[in-house]
Amino acid sequence: MKKKIIAIIPARGCSKGIPRKNIKIFAGKPLVVHSIEQALNTSQIDAVYVSTDDAEIAKISKNAGAEIINRPKEISGDIATTESVIAHALSVLNEKPDIIILLQPTSPLRPENSIKDGIEKFLKRNYDSLLSISPTHRFFWKIKNGQINAEYDFLNRPRRQDIKEKNINYVENGSLYIFSRKHFEKTGNRLGGKIGYLIFSEEYSYEIDTFSDFEFLEILAKKLNFGDK
C-alpha cells in the first residue's frame, strides 16, 4: 500500500538576523520558493505545505504551488520549536500523512535528487527518522569547568586530507529531515528511533542565519549553478 508523503516547510514572518528572511530574494527567487519547488519536483511527495503566520509569505508560497497552513502567533515567535510547528500542522490536516519531509528554507542548497534519494533510503531501510549531514574537517575543542580539552590528538595533528574516514566528524546541516508520523506522535520529535542519514558534501552544509551567511551562500550558489537548471 502506497504511503502518503507530505513536505512541511516552516516559514515564519519575523526574523531577528535578517528581516523578512524567508522571502528575501536568493538566487533569483524568494528564499522559501527554492524549497517549495524542490519538494514539488520530487515525485514521491503527495503534497507540499508551508506553515506560516505571515500573509505575504503565504501569498508567495501559494503562487509557487504550496498549500498553506496558517500558523498561530503563539508558535511563531523566537522561542517556538520546529516540533511545535510540525505538531500543529498534523493537528489541522484532514488527511494524515504516513511520512513527513521537513525542509527548512534557510538551507536552500540541496544536491540534485537528494530529497528523492532520502525518501528511497528511508523506505528501503525502514527507518523511523532520517537526517542530512555533512563532513567537517574542523578540529573541535570543549570547555568544561574552565578547562579546555581537545577532541583530537593535537600532538599528532593529521593533515586534513589524511583524516581517516572513521575519524571524520559530521554536522547536522538542517537541510533535510524525514520521519514517520507514527514516530513523531510517539516521541514528539523529528529524530529518534532507528535513525538513518544522507551525506551531503561540505559545500551543502551551510545555513542562512545572518547577512554574511546570505552573501556567502549566494556566491556558493553561483559556483554550484544553483537555480540555473
Determine the Cα–Cα distance for residues 90 and 106; give it in Å rounded to an integer. 22
Active-site residue identified among 157, 159, 160, 181 = 157
Is 125 one of the catalytic residues? no
Grid cell, residue 184, equals 513523531
E-state strands within the chain: 5-10, 25-26, 29-30, 47-52, 67-70, 99-103, 129-136, 141-144, 147-150, 169-180, 195-199
Per DSSP, the three-state class of 182 is helix
Determine the Cα–Cα distance for residues 164 and 131; give it in Å rounded to an integer. 23
Residues designated catalytic: 157
